[in-house]
Amino acid sequence: MRPTFSIDNRFRLFFALQFAGIGIFFPYIALYLSSIDLSGGQIGLLLALVPLIGFLVQPLWGLVSDVYHLHRFALVFACLSVSVVMVGFAMTQNFWILLSLTILHAVLKAPIGILVTALALEHLAREPTQTGFGSLRLWGSIGFAVASFGIGAFFVEDAIWWILPLYALSNFALAAVALTIPDAEIHGQVNWKEGFFLLHRDRVLTRLLLGLLLIGVTLGIVNNYLSVYLTDIGAAGWIIGTALAISALVEVPLMARVPAFVGRWGIRLVLVAGVAVLPVRYLLYSVIEEPILVLPTQVLHSIAMMSLLVVGVLYMDRLLASKWRASGQSLYAASLHSLGPSIGLYTASIIYQQAGIEVVWLMSAAVALLGTTILAYIVYRQPASQPQQEVIT
């Protein structure tokens, strides 16, 4: 019988805590910043800085970790540092201090997701079991659902400032769990020059990242403006929390079924079809004015996230050699979760002020459609080789 706190369970706990922190902080930070009377332009700048800086530093974090084999050390350091920065964030309402802390937060937060993903994939490849990446990652969705619903239901209307100490606490707990997970093995020597020219050597990878960047533009918008949109159309706090929780909870069975989906339809179709629901989702938002009707549309988010957060990660993992595992995931995250959202957030802040949320959603639908088209073109030009079986099963 497997021990209660096996390595698999440590990764499950890490993902649960990681995404609980994300569910506490990111869906509600725009509301918090608004509550301390920052202007729309100031809020837009602070929101856009986190993914933009992530784009700049994530590849560097990944490259340093691969070259010097510092995956676990860097993960523990980043989690502890984010916790400390959030304590400072809670102690001020001065915009310029918040700007400095936001930049520091962005630099330190950037490697957490890519490093734990790389370490989890390394663990699954080293000790093949019936556990798949989806069965580990789905615990992140559970953590996000519980945390985002709790904040929406109990804190968003009267005590939104609680997101700061709770987010700090979640990152402190992450550091403690990170100390217990195994570090990555060395898969051969890598050097800085190879890393810097990785994209230059692989044109397919570069074009794939362009499609992911466009999709990321819309994810940045929906992740930060969904609560704003729901507030604008008169949603109660419990509806906001429920909308966020539904999307995360539906991800859980979908992620658990990834091996079956890939086995039946292939990794390319599952990836592209899942992403293709995003334009439909944004078009629905542009016409829905009754808050309760938003809830069933959240299933579309779950389908897309299953494809991007599990299937896309696995697809990226097969494109590069194992020695570039952290670097590959950093490029994936930088495009999808950093540069794309940064562009989207800044653009959305301007469009929202000038034309309202409906135009924001229409723009998101158009960009998501273009990104999906590019992704499908690149993915289907590649040979349909079987992804690493030990990671998918």
pLDDT tens digits, residue range 105-161? 999 998 898 899 888 888 887 766 545 788 888 898 889 888 887 877 666 666 788
* The two structure tokens encoding residue 203: 């044109």
Alpha carbon of residue 131 to chain centroid: 22
Please state, in angstroms and rounded to a whole number, the distance separating the CA atoms of residues 224 and 27.
5
Domain ranges for the chain, please list them. 9-392
Contacts 24+ apart (CB under 8 A), 353-359: 353/40, 357/225, 357/228, 357/229, 357/232, 357/285, 358/286
**For 298, phi and psi rounded to 5 degrees?**
-70, -20
pLDDT at 145 (0 to 100): 81
**Tell me, what amino acid is at 367?**
V
Cβ pair 87, 107 in contact under 8 A: no
Distances (CA, A) of 203 to 193, 197, 208, 323: 17, 11, 9, 19
pLDDT at 29 (0 to 100): 86
Kindly report, residue by residue over 279-318, the tens digit of the pLDDT.
999 999 999 989 999 999 999 999 999 999 889 988 887 7
With 0-12 / 13-18 / 19 or more C-beta atoms within 10 angstroms meaning exposed / middle / buried, residue 217 is buried
Those residues of the chain that have pLDDT short of 50 are 1-3, 130, 187-188, 191-193, 195-197, 200, 384-393
Q: Which CATH superfamily is domain 9-392 in?
A: MFS general substrate transporter like domains (1.20.1250.20)
pLDDT at 382 (0 to 100): 64
List CB contacts of 23: < 8 A, sequence separation 6 or more.
143, 144, 145, 146, 147, 148, 151, 244, 248
Helices (H), 69-132: 71-90, 95-126
* The two structure tokens encoding residue 269: 């179709």
pLDDT at 175 (0 to 100): 95
Cβ pair 16, 144 in contact under 8 A: no
Indicate the pTM of the whole model: 0.74
Please state, in angstroms and rounded to a whole number, the distance separating the CA atoms of residues 361 and 367.
10
pLDDT at 168 (0 to 100): 95
